[in-house]
Amino acid sequence: MNENIEEYRKDGIIDLDKYLLSNPSEKAYPYFIDGYEENNFWLKVKRGGEEKYIYVKPAKNEYLDNNYNVYSGLLYEELMKQVGIKTVDSYIAKYDNKLATISDNIISNYSYNQFIINGNELLECKRYMTSDEEYNIEDVFDAIHEYCRSEGIDKNIEKKCIKDIEKVCIADIFTLSTDRKANDLDFVVGNDENEDQSIELAPLSHNTYSLGSNFNTDEIYDMLDDDDMLADRMNLCYFDAGVPDYKREYEYPYWEDTLYYLIDKDEENLNFARQCAANMNIDEAIKNVEKKIDGKIPFEYKEFVRVIWDNRLQNICECLGIDYLKLMDNKYYEKEMEEV
């Protein structure tokens, strides 16, 4: 393994197929979740002058006729940077002659005696719950509390971990994420640099099912031609770890109930939601992704993203009591001032 993986980048895409022909990897490690093998796996490569494991996520979905989730994951990461949420840093690659995303091993930035567990493992800390049962966001919080209690973790650390998850859920509402299961939340646990037991939310790495990437191409064209259909389909976008049923109003869409649940009587969450409305900029995210990949996001998906982003932002502004038109005027003014 003598060549750097970056040497196989062309037109913004790293060709893993060619790299592996010349640099056979030690092994591809399957990624197991709940007892079955996923498409995603770890691969040992040379990158940045050293050998390291990268996480490979092929854009394969038997239910979709496109690979837009490769682009949605990168757009999601750019939007999260705008509001201070940590994610992995992904790139587009080609693997098995298909598009994929790759990112570095997130644990490499932590202490040697820290490791990763996911939300399903935390849920199983609750003796009466298994990962295949239905659950809601409070079950995830209870599982974190149970883990912290059993490991003697400081309550302030526990509170910060829960608050970080709440902010992710708020950001997911803005980005129309549909697949934020407990399994899609990773946690760094173990002894921190001070040798104290700790838990923190790891940089987000499961972000591809967002921004309308869960629709087939024909559905996208139909929604672009029919505003009512688009509004109805966007209201159906939800994720698993949302508001508990006993706190639902049911007169609102699921995402809206979850938003009210998170911001009601919580000033910090309300301010964060307002920060997302003010600072998240989809056009800036598109520009940064296209610069990163040195190429263009498919035109029809890019236009669809802009339309559904605007639709969801208007609805969220109504929930938050924000004047949408004034908000957009402010963003336009700020952009003009940056260009002066």
The encoded tokens of residue 322 equal 């924000």
DSSP strand pairing (9-10 vs 13-15): antiparallel
**Hunting for tokens 């109805």 — which residue is that?**
232
pLDDT at 40: 74
Are 227 and 307 in contact by the 8 Å Cβ rule? The answer is: no
Q: Long-range contacts of range 330-333, CB-CB < 8 Å, 24 or more positions apart?
A: 330/278, 331/278, 331/281
The encoded tokens of residue 207 equal 């972000």
DSSP 3-state of 137: helix
Q: Which helix (H) or strand (E) holds 147?
A: helix 137-151
pLDDT at 277: 96
pLDDT at 243: 81
For the chain, domains (ranges, CATH) are 5-107 (3.30.200.120), 217-239+274-339 (no CATH)
Residue 161 CA to residue 242 CA, distance in Å, equals 17
Residue 236 backbone zone (phi > 0: left; psi -120 to 50: alpha; other: beta): alpha
Tens of each residue's pLDDT in the chain, 340 residues: 567 888 888 878 889 889 888 888 765 554 444 444 456 777 888 777 777 788 888 776 666 678 888 899 999 999 999 999 999 888 899 888 888 888 876 666 666 677 888 788 888 766 545 545 567 888 889 999 999 998 899 999 999 999 999 999 999 999 998 877 777 888 988 877 666 788 999 999 888 789 998 888 999 999 999 999 998 888 876 666 678 888 887 778 888 999 999 999 899 999 999 999 999 999 999 999 999 888 899 999 999 999 999 999 999 999 999 999 999 888 765 665 565 4
Q: Count CB-CB contacts under 10 A for residue 224.
A: 15
Residue 140 CA to residue 210 CA, distance in Å, equals 21
The encoded tokens of residue 308 equal 């559904």
Q: What is the identity of the amino acid at 317? A: C
pLDDT at 305: 96
**Hunting for tokens 């029919």 — which residue is that?**
226
Residue 108 CA to residue 289 CA, distance in Å, equals 24
